[in-house]
Every structure is written in C-alpha cells, then in structure tokens.
Amino acid sequence: MNRFLDWLDHRTGIREFTHAALYEHIPGGPRWRYVWGSTLSFCFFVQVVTGLILWTAYSPSAQTAWESVFYIQNQMMAGWLLRGVHHFTAQMMVVLMAIHFVQVVVDGAYRAPREINFWLGLILLQIVLGLALTGYLLPWDQKGYWATKVATNMIALLPVVGEPLQRLVVGGSDYGHHTLTRFFALHAGVLPILLATFLTLHVLLFRRHGLTVRDPKHAPDTYFWPEQVLRDAVACLGVTIVVLVLVLWHYPHTRPDLLTAQQLGAELGAPANPAESYAAARPETYFLFLFQSLKYLEVFPPIVGAIIVPGMIMFSLFLMPFIGRWQLGHRFNIVWTFALLVGAGVLTLLAWREDHNGVTPESQHYLAAVASAESEAERAVTLAASPQGIPPTGALSLLRSDPKTQGPKLFRQHCAACHSHAPDSKDESADLLQIITVEKPSASNLWKFGTLDWMRGILEPAKIAGPHYFGNTKFKDGDMVKFVKEKIGDHLAELKGDEQVQFKQSIEDAAIAVAAESGRKLDGVTDADKRIEVGRKAIVDVFACIDCHKFRKEGDVGMAPDLTGYASREWLTAFLSNPADERFYRDTNDRMPAFAPHPNDPANRLSPEDLATLVSWLRGEWYEPASK
C-alpha cells in the first residue's frame, strides 16, 4: 500500500495535496460554529449525486415530464426516496444559507480582506435560489407550472429587455417543450457548473484568508483534521437525518395502511394543465415573503415589487463590506440583516395565515383549491398507475377524459344552473367531490339518475311532486305527477291485504324493469331476470305506461320520453344532445337546452368527448383501482 502511495505521490503530489487539505490551521481549536460552510458544500454534493441519478429517469417535455416524474415517484424502486432527498436537501440548503449568512455578518467576516469572498457568497446565494426556481418547474405539475409562470412573467416587467428576455427563458411565447428543455439545461447544466465554479473560488479564497476567529484563546490551535472534520461530518449527518425525517414524515396525516409512494417525499401535483388555472399556486416557502410583499406594494407599478425592491435589498447586501468599515456600520449591517430576516419571516407568516386561517373567503377559496388539487393529483396518479396506463399524449389527456374528476366540472358548468346532484339525506359513503348542491334547483335532482332508487322515488306519490323530481318544473301538475298520485297513490290506499301487497310488488317490479333499461347491474335485487320479466309485463298490463311512453316494442314516441334504454349510454347521449327530440319531450320540453343538436357540429355546447365524459359520470362509471 505504502509503495503504491509512494508511486502515486511521486507522479501526482497527492500527499502534499491531501496534507494541504486536511492540515488547515485552526486557531483557537475546533468549534461547532465552523460547520455551516461545510454543510452547504455537502448539500451541493448530495444535490449533484441525486440530481444526476434523477437525470437517468427524467424526460423533459410537455408530454413526458410529469409522466417520468410520476414513474420515478411511484413505480421505480425507492424513487420517492431519491426525489424526496433531492427536494428536501434543496430546502435545507436555503435554510443553511441563511444561517451561514447571518454568521458571516455577525462575525464581521465580510470585512477586509474578505470582501470579495463575501460577494462570491452572495453570488452563490443567487445561484442556489436560481436552482430552486428552475427545479420547481421540472415536474410539470399544476403547482410548479402556475407558480413559475408568475416568476417568468416578472421578467417581462423589465424595461426594454424584459419581453425578449422572457422569450429566451421560456423558449417561446408560451410554456411548452422548450420551456422544460431550457429550464432543465439551466437547472442541471448551467447553474450547477456556475455553482461549482463559484464554490471553488469561495473555498480557495476562504483557505487563503483562513477562518474568522472570534476568540483565538478558546483552546489550543489545531488542524482541520481530525477534530474539525469530525464536527463537520457530524453536522452533515445531522442534515441527512433532518432530510430523511422530512422525506418520511412530510405527510403527518398518512395512515400506514394507506401509505403509497405518492405520499412520501416530495409532492407531485396533477399534471400541468394550461386550460385550467390553479388557484392554489404558491411559490416555494422561501419565496413566500416575496409573494406576500407584492400584495403590499400593489400601489406601485408591478416592476417595483417584483424587481426594484428585491434588487435594492440585494444591492444593500453587496454594499455591506463598505458600510461595515466603521464599527457603527458593522452594527447597522447586523441590525439590517436581522431586520430583513424578521421581515421575511413575518411576511412568510402573514402569507401563510392569509391562506390558512379558514375564515376569510379568500382563505376558504385557497383551502378548497388545495383540497381539490390534492384529490386531482391523487386521481391523476391512480389513473396513471391503472392497467390502461398513460397514453403517448400524456397524463393530462387521461385526466381530461376522466368522468370522476371532469364530470363534476362539466355538470357545474352546464347543468348546475337548474339541476342538483346530491343525496336527499346525508350519505356518509358519498364522495363529497361528487356532490353538487344547488341553492334553488329548478329541475330534478340527478343523484344516481336512472338507478333503481331513483325509479322507486319517481313512482312514489309523496316524492314525485317534490324537489327531487318534478317539484320545481312545469311538470309539477303534469300527467305523470297526476298518474303517480292517483293511479298509484290513491289506488294503493283503496286496496287492502294481499291485493295491496301484490300492487306494491308490481310497482317495485316496474321500477326494476325500467332501471334495468340503463344496462347497469341492479344491486340488491335477487332473481333479477325474473323480476325484470314480470316488471316489463306490469308496465304494459298493470300501469299502462305505454299509453304515453314508448317501452320496447309497445307504445309510441311523441307524448312522453321513451323508456326504452332509459338512462343507458345511448339514451343519455341522445337526450342531452337534444331533449326536444320527438323521442323525449318534443315541444313540451321545459327549458332544458340541447347540448349537441347537430352531430359533430363544433358549435355544439358539448363536444363529443365531453358529452361522453358527462354521460359516464351521470351513470357513475369510471375507473377505480381494485384495492379500494
């Protein structure tokens, strides 16, 4: 071994080099307070290694960025760990930088001859913030997409160069493939190289000037190795432990039995959707104070809050070595540093409280947006992980055609002016996101439309004229209401004993027969085929529904909606397309618009895709993973 080292040393001078690295003179002995610079270098090292490994699996394009990050996070072995470590080490870096900076200012380590190294440090700070900003966009999720849009729009505020510069950064007039490739080149290429260069200069100058020692008589002088190395290593170990804790406990509400990779480590929102603004868009925590300050500086032109004020503050930091030449100036620097930190802290808290108080309408709006964003993200991951997988068009197209999440939106947009979609009584099992309650509904409640429960209700004299069915429509006193009240209600009251029981059974069978027309499975019906058979006969013979309705081969269209295939995909699609068709309400149609009266007409209010999505949603048909 020694012979090999001799050989190597002779050719490289490695002994001298190691000696110079390890035997740095430390006056006053090793101290814990010297560890911060080392922890920052360590964080950079962690980011380089984890970043390169992430690079092996990341694909920067509008159709693959979110998808590849989803794959890393949820499908690759311990991908959540790698991503989590990269994400939280970045956060740690910002915190450690603040500590390092405060220490430098308090110790006066920016004063001659260390001014240039102080400025190098400030440049490093900018680079790290640049890395944080560019990295935030790369997963191409809603949060990163909309938050980064704000940042790049700020660039355009610069006079003269703003607009062309923004184009350069974004890679075009709007976000797309080249935004990602450019941000990725900055994040994984340009900025790390700059950081490594400036860090090398920073460390070289630091070694030239030596430590800024406050108390040289604290202990006997030593060397960097081994006592200070141990302290630095322990501090780095501390950093890794904090990072790991953050990776594992970021979601305190996580129940171990429901734990998935999606909940561990760094968050991944729903895929970026340029067509759907994200009301919960916020920058990373350490940029929140800037975000908040914009609200207070709104009286000035936008450039003031976005560029001039932060720029002036940054400039004041660059001036510190000059101000600090006098004892009073040094004190001023310390006060100014703490004032900035406290100010940023207060602004961050204010921003957080404004969003999270849960009392103000703005906060409620924000919290609702966060909740819906979280469920949308969860849904996106569920769909991406389904056997159907992600199509080449990307995960966004999966989400766009997903009835579970798009159905409520389409319903709100097109139907909720009149219709509710909510259970009558509190249904604990109901998914809150599927419930749409209208204050003053003027049409029927479409909750579980066309199911057996719904059919039972419409045949119930007490319910048919209620708000769930015709109560709020012009059919309130119509033929159907009269029929159910008189031919069913009054008749049932007249009957006694067995006859009554038998008539009730016929009503149930008729309900079953119509519900079966939708083609869905009838839950809780025993001997369904026989019941349907009997029910079909009752519709014709007992109730004479066919006097007004067409039902299979009996009756005619033109008077009342066709009961053939009632609430089936085909029926619903045709009905929503044009309820005034002779198959449905014809000229008796009560205010219901035709959503697609002419097939494939771009002027239709619902595109064929949206119509299909809405129909699936009304029928309660969407993908759910088997385990749920």
Q: State the residues that interact with other proteins by CB under 8 A.
A: 42, 45-46, 48-50, 53-54, 56-57, 64, 67-68, 70-72, 75-79, 81-82, 85, 225-227, 229-230, 233-234, 236-237, 239-240, 384, 388-392
User: Do 92 and 286 touch, CB atoms closer than 8 A?
Assistant: no
Query: What is the three-class DSSP state of 56?
Result: coil
Q: Which is nearer to other proteins, 48 or 205 (CB)?
A: 48
CB 226 to other proteins: min, Å: 4
Burial of 7 (0-12, 13-18, 19+ CB in 10 A): exposed
Burial of 533 (0-12, 13-18, 19+ CB in 10 A): middle
CB 504 to other proteins: min, Å: 50
User: Do 467 and 493 touch, CB atoms closer than 8 A?
Assistant: no
CB 139 to other proteins: min, Å: 13
Cα end-to-end span (Å), the chain: 61
**Which amino acid, 143?**
K
Measured at the alpha carbon of residue 134, what is the angle toward residues 128 and 135, in degrees to the nearest 5?
85
Q: Which is nearer to other proteins, 264 or 281 (CB)?
A: 264
User: Do 35 and 232 touch, CB atoms closer than 8 A?
Assistant: yes
Q: What is the DSSP string of 356-377?
A: H-SSSHHHHHHHHHHHHHHHHH
CB 65 to other proteins: min, Å: 11
* Token pair belonging to 15: 């002994």
Q: Which is nearer to other proteins, 48 or 303 (CB)?
A: 48
373-377 — which CB contacts under 8 Å span 24+ positions?
A: 373/142, 373/143, 373/269, 373/270, 373/278, 373/280, 375/405, 375/433, 376/142, 376/269, 376/270, 376/405, 377/141, 377/142, 377/262, 377/267, 377/268, 377/269, 377/270
Q: Which is nearer to other proteins, 48 or 313 (CB)?
A: 48
CB 53 to other proteins: min, Å: 3
Q: Which is nearer to other proteins, 232 or 508 (CB)?
A: 232
* Token pair belonging to 484: 């159910």
- Cα separation, 409 vs 315, in Å, equals 48
Q: Which is nearer to other proteins, 236 or 281 (CB)?
A: 236
**HSE, side-chain direction, 13 A CA sphere, residue 248:** 7
CB 78 to other proteins: min, Å: 3
Query: What is the three-class DSSP state of 420?
Result: strand
Q: Which is nearer to other proteins, 234 or 493 (CB)?
A: 234
CB 184 to other proteins: min, Å: 17
- Cα separation, 188 vs 440, in Å, equals 55
Q: How far is CA 363 from the centre of its chain?
A: 17
CB 242 to other proteins: min, Å: 12
Q: Which is nearer to other proteins, 240 or 589 (CB)?
A: 240
CB 237 to other proteins: min, Å: 5
Q: Which is nearer to other proteins, 72 or 481 (CB)?
A: 72
Q: Which is nearer to other proteins, 49 or 430 (CB)?
A: 49
CB 49 to other proteins: min, Å: 4
Q: What is the DSSP string of 321-363?
A: HHHTTSHHHHHHHHHHHHHHHHHHHHHHHHHHHHHH-SSSHHH
CB 316 to other proteins: min, Å: 35
Which residues have C-beta within 8 Å of that of residue 463, sequence separation ≥ 6? 457, 469
SS (H, E, C) 194-228: HHHHHHHHHHHHHHHHCCCCCCCCCCCCEEHHHHH
CB 602 to other proteins: min, Å: 27
